[in-house]
Amino acid sequence: MPVTFHPPRTAWGTFPDVVIHATESAVKQHPAYKAAKSGDDDAATDLVVDTFSLEKTHALEELLGVRTPTLVSAHAVERQGINAIPEVFAELLGKVLGWPVDTGIVQVNVVGHTSAKGFWRMARQAEFQGPVKAGCEYVLVDDFVGMGGTLANLKGHIESNGGCVVAAVALTGKPYSAKLTPLPQTLQALREKHGTELENWWIGHFAHTFDALTESEARYLTRTETADTIRDRIAEAEQTGDGTALS
């Protein structure tokens, strides 16, 4: 059945790059990784402790100065279980920094982003629910940043309910994925290649302009040959059952 609801997103403004703690190989080749990804809290603790970076934690602290934001994790439901890594990571960050941790905001749908291709990720977006404290500043926490859509949607949930997201941190991810805010030249190239018709379709379908895309999403769409291809692959991803089969 076609997807008819898409979570809210908000504009990025001057959002800082994601603070990434460890390399992908250090995290994904760790012996506890698979069990942690499947919901084993002990395995997640072993993984996070072994790959946690005090240097990156201090960098996050310096980025925010005297603020005491609330950490909120994108603990997702994966095909194999509830990913335990983000919540354990947030808890350790909270202990080290003395920042509060919110566990009431949760992802409520299964999107299966692990190993999924780009159009699947954009079509099957994470949806979040849970109370947001109006006026409260939040830092997003995830185990991995790829295209950044999950973080974008978590930010959208928080900010559309009165909160303010000031930064994001991930245990791992590709260095280029750290930039969530789309560059002006990337948006310009996307709009020049596919025109206003695609962006108008995107607004009607996803309820946000290209400005709320991540840099990786915008680059992905720019590399796609035609606007018709984008619409077709989004529709296919919304109806298919396997995100690993879509390029």
**Do 108 and 216 share a structural domain?**
no
Closest to 6 (Cα-Cα) out of 121, 133, 137, 117: 121
**Do 191 and 170 share a structural domain?**
no
Q: pLDDT tens-digit profile of 66-94?
A: 999 999 998 665 555 678 999 999 999 99
- Label residue 129 left, alpha or beta by phi (over 0 means left) and psi (-120 to 50 means alpha): beta
Domain count, the chain: 2
Closest to 219 (Cα-Cα) out of 243, 187, 178: 187
Q: pLDDT tens-digit profile of 5-45?
A: 678 999 999 999 999 999 999 999 999 999 998 889 999 99
Structure-block tokens of residue 127: 């949806």
| Whole-angstrom distance, CA of residue 171 vs CA of residue 141 | 8
Does residue 13 belong to any structural domain of this protein?
no
Kindly state the DSSP code that residue 134 receives in the 8-state scheme.
T
pLDDT at 124: 85
Residues of the chain with pLDDT under 70: 1-5, 75-81, 111-116, 241-247
Boundary residue ending a domain (127, 153, 178): 178
Q: What is the span of the domain harbouring residue 98? A: 19-178
> How many CB atoms neighbour CB 194 within 10 A?
22
